[in-house]
Amino acid sequence: MEIPRHHVIRERHHRIHNPLDDAKLATLGGALRLSASMSILDLASGSGEMLATWSRDYGIRGTGVDLSSEFVASAQARAAELGVGDRITFVHGDASTYVSTSPVDVAACLGATWIGGGVDGTVALLDRSLRPGGIVLVGEPYWLKEPPDQEVVEACHAQSKDDFQSSLADLLRRFDRLGWDLVEMVLADPNSWDRYHAAQWLTVRRWLDENPDDELASAFREELSVAPLQHVLCREYLGWGVFALMKR
For position 168, which CATH number holds?
Answer: 3.40.50.150
- The answer on pLDDT for 93 being more than 90 is yes
DSSP-assigned beta bridge partners for residue 141: 240
pLDDT in tens, 34-61: 999 999 999 999 999 999 999 999 999 9
Q: What is the pLDDT of residue 180?
A: 98
What range does the domain containing 126 cover? 5-143+163-189+238-247
Residue 212 domain-assigned (yes or no): no
| pLDDT bracket for residue 1 (50, 70, 90) | confident
pTM exceeds 0.75, yes or no: yes
Indicate whether 43 belongs to any domain: yes
Angle between helices 168-177 and 119-127 (to 10 degrees): 50
69-81 and 49-58 helices, crossing angle to 10° = 20
Could you give the number of structural domains in the chain?
A: 1
pLDDT in tens, 174-200: 999 999 999 999 999 999 999 999 999
Q: What is the mean pLDDT of residues 123-138?
A: 98
Residue 207 lies in a domain: no
pLDDT at 228: 97
Q: What percent of the chain has pLDDT over 90?
A: 99
Whole-angstrom CA distances from 45 to 9, 12, 121, 176, 201 are 17, 14, 18, 26, 22
Residue 90, Cβ density class (10 Å: 0-12 exposed, 13-18 middle, ≥19 buried): buried
Note the pLDDT of residue 2: 87
Residue 217 lies in a domain: no
Q: Is residue 219 part of a domain?
A: no
- Work out the mean pLDDT of the chain and round it to a whole number: 97
Segment 152-179, tens digit of pLDDT: 999 999 999 999 999 999 999 999 999 9
Does any domain span residue 80?
yes
CA 119 to each of CA 83, 91, 136, 216: distance values in angstroms, whole numbers, following the listed order: 34, 23, 12, 32
